[in-house]
Amino acid sequence: MSDTTSQSGKAKVRAWYEPDAKLSRRHSADKRLRAYGIAAIIFALSMLATLVGTIAITAAPAVTQTMVTLEVEVPEGAVDPSDPRGGSYQRILNDSIMRIFPEVDTPREKRELRKLFSNGGQYALRDKVVDDPSLIGRTFDVTFPLADIGDQLHKGVIDRNLPPDYRRVSDMQIGWYDRLVEQGRISAPLNWGMIFNADSRFPELAGLWGALVGSFYALLICFFVSFPVGISAAVYLEEFAPKNRLTDLIEVNINNLAAVPSIVFGLLGLAVFLNFFGMPRSAPIVGGLVLSLMTLPTIIIATRAALKAVPPSIREAAIGVGASRMQTVGHHVLPLAMPGIMTGTIIGLAQALGETAPLLLIGMNAFITAAPDSMFNPSTALPTQIYIWADSPERGFTSRTSAAIIVLLGFLVCMNAIAIYMRKRFERRW
Amino acid sequence: MNKTAEEAGTLAKAAASVQAGHESKIAATNVSVFYGEKQALFDVSIDIPARQVMAFIGPSGCGKSTFLRCINRMNDTIDICRVTGTIEIDGADIYDPKIDPVLLRARVGMVFQKPNPFPKSIYDNIAYGPRIHGVAKNGSAMDEIVETSLSRAGLWKEVKDRLNEPGTGLSGGQQQRLCIARAIAVNPDVILMDEPCSALDPIATAKVEELIDELRQHYTIVIVTHSMQQAARVSQKAAFFHLGNLIEVDETEKVFTNPTDKRTQDYITGRFG
Ligand SMILES: Nc1ncnc2c1ncn2[C@@H]1O[C@H](COP(=O)(O)OP(=O)(O)OP(=O)(O)O)[C@@H](O)[C@H]1O
Ligand SMILES: [Mg+2]
């Protein structure tokens, strides 16, 4: 007995501010947890940096496009001035090329030489003449892309020191290319064609314009369908619907809908919009409708959250001065919830923009060489264009795929930034 | 449109009959209120006189707010709430299916515990009610309504130069007077106030109490309050509620000095509450 008292007496000697073992254990646990957290963030950031870095490095060659400039003579009579589209520009261009390389004469060599220049040259020439028919009978400069092998050679992607069997360019082609460089005919301006051209089999001519227009139409449809429908559904569920089994069931199902894999929506779109309603395959309108099915739950959930966040006192105030329920919602609740709704909508649309699987199922991965004139024409979308290019064997498509990914990521980042800005800017504190 | 005009007509006729003296403005008979299965009010019958201030007092949860919200059918917005019995205003049963609650609420204004101005300009806060009821379009008629309402609420001098600033930027007391002005703007007969001063400091409270005393000339006022002093200061009649029952209604002075029921006495002397 006296033992224990003397012990506890000794223990009491420690001053109140001296930490005991338990406290320092608690502190070290804190520190450990903080270290775990920081490590996790560093890990995540470095993964992200690696991903974006790899894509950016791969995309870098696509920033410029190697072009060649030739003097072309369009002989009088080769093109009919009343129908300049009908001229045989391929032949005219070939003649100009041959003038630079007079020593090339066997058909095999000519074919080899021709492979150095893009097939798009004749169209560049044609467009020039169509724009200005007075060029007929004169000699003038035409600038057009080198073919993929020339482009890759210029960018150093093809290593000319490899033995000839291991590279896609022959020694002869390298020689011709070097001659073009010597004559100052080669330039590498910014690759605007990558944005403003439609798709093509030839990487040096392929661009994203068709996909951009297609995605724009699809998102437009998606917005105009899912925004009003989503808001109406959310307003009804939140403000008017009685609370019963049925509305509970609907609520659960909307939440489930948000978790349905997107490919299922694609199958649904295929079955309903294409097979049942007979809508055009590959058209942005169908893509937009399918995407709106996916965006709908997101918008409904965001809208309901935004409506819930409007304090009941505002509703009471409106009802108290004699506003009907519809007026209460329309004049007060909905305007106050709008920033939240818009934020949710933009995030929903950003998801829709990146969605690939459902678009593949309704055929928006078709090979289409012109941008769609309307939302009923066949088209691709950004993610499906990436999918198509990623599947193409030509070297030029490797960098273009990555560049397209960067364009898509750019759009997504912008949309999310707008959403975050709106949330910050219009957020209300009650 | 026709229907509403007719309703207004009957209400106005009934109003004329009680013009003289302090006749009953609101007559409730056997009002019971249920929240789902739970009964919150038991057979409350009470006459509320015109152009006086009636105070509802009683311990927390006794059903004061519930009864108050029956008078402008605010309880309609609660799904599970069910009201039985009759409440007549100027002889017309407000729970009659013919009565449109929207019209009723224009006649019976309400001021809430926490000031709840719309997040709009001061002007629009007042103008909203008249606008939706079609009393006045924008323009000079509306300007006049805004000015008289704010003047009656004793707020005109303080805000006349900042009518376009948001109502939420005012002080708590000013906000509450703005809410009173908003209720006045639709030209009601009755104003219901649910603990209108509980979120205000003493000075703002004094101003609102003063205002209530003035408004009594034009309006029938029912106020719920937890402050015995406030009830004594502003009201002519007081009703004591306990556990969903109306225990006692009488002249305020009588209730406070000489209550008939033991429970009333216990409550006002602070033995429970
Ligand atoms: N929306 C509601 N749903 C369910 N029960 C409710 C609801 N509102 C009030 N009640 C119940 O009804 C009873 C009376 O509530 P009421 O709000 O009328 O009391 P009160 O007298 O105003 O109290 P206080 O002085 O605290 O404001 C309480 O038991 C309360 O729990
Ligand atoms: Mg209450």
Q: Can you give the pLDDT at residue A258?
A: 87
Residue of B nearest to A332 (CA): B118
Q: Which residues of B are less than 8 Å from A332 in CB distance?
A: 118
Q: Can you give the pLDDT at residue B7?
A: 52
Does A318 share its domain with A269? yes
Tell whether the model's pLDDT for residue A197 goes beyond 80: yes
- CB-based contacts of B27: which residues, under 8 Å, 6+ apart? B46, B47, B48, B87, B88
Mean pLDDT across A383-391: 94
Q: What is the pLDDT of residues B237-261, one digit of tens each?
A: 999 999 999 999 999 999 999 999 9
Interface test with A, best of B128, B146, B195 (most A CBs within 10 A): B128
Hey, are the CB atoms on A321 and B102 less than 8 Å from each other?
Answer: no
Does A251 share its domain with A385? yes
Report if residue B273 sits inside a domain.
Answer: no
pLDDT range class, residue A244, cuts 50, 70, 90: confident
Q: Of A155, A190, A225, which residue is a domain's last?
A: A190
Tell me the two tokens of residue B241: 């509620």
Give the count of domains, chain B.
Answer: 1
Interface test with A, best of B65, B68, B108, B118 (most A CBs within 10 A): B118
Mean pLDDT across A133-146: 90
Q: Can you give the pLDDT at residue A23?
A: 87
Give the count of domains, chain A.
Answer: 3
Report if residue B263 sits inside a domain.
Answer: yes
**The residue type at A85:** R
Does A264 share its domain with A408? yes
Does A233 share its domain with A186? no
Distance CA A429, CA B119 (A): 11
Report if residue A228 sits inside a domain.
Answer: yes
Q: Can you give the pLDDT at residue A10?
A: 54
Mean pLDDT across A225-248: 92
User: Ligand 2: distance of its center to the CA of A9 in Å?
Assistant: 57
Report if residue B126 sits inside a domain.
Answer: yes
Q: Can you give the pLDDT at residue B20?
A: 40
Q: Residue A113, Cα to own-chain centre: how many angstroms?
A: 36
Q: Can you give the pLDDT at residue B19?
A: 43
CATH number of the domain that residue B187 is part of:
3.40.50.300
Residue window 214-253, chain B: list those with CB within 8 Å of chain A.
none
Range of weakest confidence among A112-121, B21-30, B140-149 = B21-30
Q: Which residues of B are less than 8 Å from A327 in CB distance?
A: 132
pLDDT range class, residue B65, cuts 50, 70, 90: very high
Closest among B229, B231, B225, B154 to B193, alpha carbons compared: B225
Report if residue A16 sits inside a domain.
Answer: yes
Tell me the two tokens of residue B163: 């009518």
Residue of B nearest to A244 (CA): B79
Residues facing residue B191 across a β-bridge: B109, B221
Q: Can you give the pLDDT at residue A428?
A: 67
Tell whether the model's pLDDT for residue B10 goes beyond 60: no
Does A238 share its domain with A166? no
Does A108 share its domain with A256? no
Ligand nearest to the CA of B80: 1
Does A135 share its domain with A217? no
Q: Which residues of B are less than 8 Å from A317 in CB distance?
A: 112, 116-118, 179, 182
Closest among A378, A360, A359, A357 to A369, alpha carbons compared: A378
Distance CA B18, CA B25 (A): 7
Q: Can you give the pLDDT at residue B273?
A: 52
Q: Of A30, A61, A92, which residue is a domain's last?
A: A61
What range does the domain containing B134 cover? 3-93+101-268
Report if residue B123 sits inside a domain.
Answer: yes
Tell me the two tokens of residue B188: 């009601």
Distance CA B143, CA A145 (A): 71
Q: Which residues of A are less than 8 Å from B103 in CB distance?
A: 322
Range of weakest confidence among A60-64, A303-307, A426-430 = A426-430
Report if residue A78 sits inside a domain.
Answer: yes
Residue B21 region, left (φ>0) first, then alpha (ψ -120 to 50), else beta?
A: left
Q: What is the mean pLDDT of chain A?
A: 90
Mutation probe of ligand 1 site: the residue of B66, B70, B80, B113 with most atoms within 8 A of C-beta: B66
Tell me the two tokens of residue A329: 């919602």
User: Ligand 2: distance of its center to the CA of B61 in Å?
Assistant: 7
Find the CB nearest B116 among A316, A331, A428. A316
Residues facing residue A28 across a β-bridge: none
Distance CA B244, CA A277 (A): 61
Distance CA A267, CA A260 (A): 12
pLDDT range class, residue B28, cuts 50, 70, 90: very high
Q: What is the pLDDT of residues A392-407, one digit of tens each?
A: 988 889 999 999 999 9
Chains A and B: how many Cβ contacts under 8 Å?
Answer: 63
Tell whether the model's pLDDT for residue A375 goes beyond 50: yes
Report if residue A202 sits inside a domain.
Answer: no
Mean pLDDT across A331-352: 93
Does A221 share its domain with A293? yes
For residue B40 and ligand 1, the question of a CB distance below 6 A is answered with: yes
CATH number of the domain that residue A405 is part of:
1.10.3720.10
Question: Higher model confidence: residue B268 or residue B53?
Answer: B53
CA distance A416 to chain B (A): 27
Q: Can you give the pLDDT at residue A76?
A: 84
Range of weakest confidence among A121-130, A135-144, A419-428, B30-39 = A419-428
pLDDT range class, residue A2, cuts 50, 70, 90: very low
Hey, are the CB atoms on B109 and A316 less than 8 Å from each other?
Answer: no
Report if residue A278 sits inside a domain.
Answer: yes
Tell whether the model's pLDDT for residue A313 goes beyond 90: yes
Q: What is the largest CA-CA distance in chain A?
A: 126
Q: Can you give the pLDDT at residue A349?
A: 94
Q: What is the pLDDT of residues A167-180, one digit of tens each?
A: 888 889 999 999 99
- B179 at interface of A, judged by CB pairs closer than 8 A: yes
Does A278 share its domain with A411? yes
Q: What is the ipTM metric for this complex?
A: 0.85
Report if residue B153 sits inside a domain.
Answer: yes
Give the strands of the sheet with B245-251, arranged side by side: B108-111, B190-194, B220-224, B53-57, B237-242, B245-251
Report if residue A204 sits inside a domain.
Answer: no
Q: Residue B74, Cα to own-chain centre: how many angstroms?
A: 11
What range does the domain containing A88 cover? 64-190
Mean pLDDT across A348-353: 94
Q: Can you give the pLDDT at residue B235?
A: 95
Tell whether the model's pLDDT for residue A11 goes beyond 80: no
Report if residue A195 sits inside a domain.
Answer: no
Tell whether the model's pLDDT for residue B178 goes beyond 90: yes
Residues facing residue B38 across a β-bridge: B35
Does A398 share its domain with A249? yes
Q: What is the pLDDT of residues A255-287, one digit of tens each?
A: 898 889 999 999 999 999 999 999 999 999 999
Q: Which residues of B are less than 8 Å from A325 in CB distance?
A: 77
Neighbours of ion ligand 2 (CB under 5 A): B 65
Does A115 share its domain with A55? no
Residue of A nearest to B176 (CA): A317
Report if residue A203 sits inside a domain.
Answer: no
Share of chain A above pLDDT 90, in %: 63
Hey, are the CB atoms on A316 and B74 less than 8 Å from each other?
Answer: yes
Report if residue B119 sits inside a domain.
Answer: yes
Does A131 share its domain with A180? yes
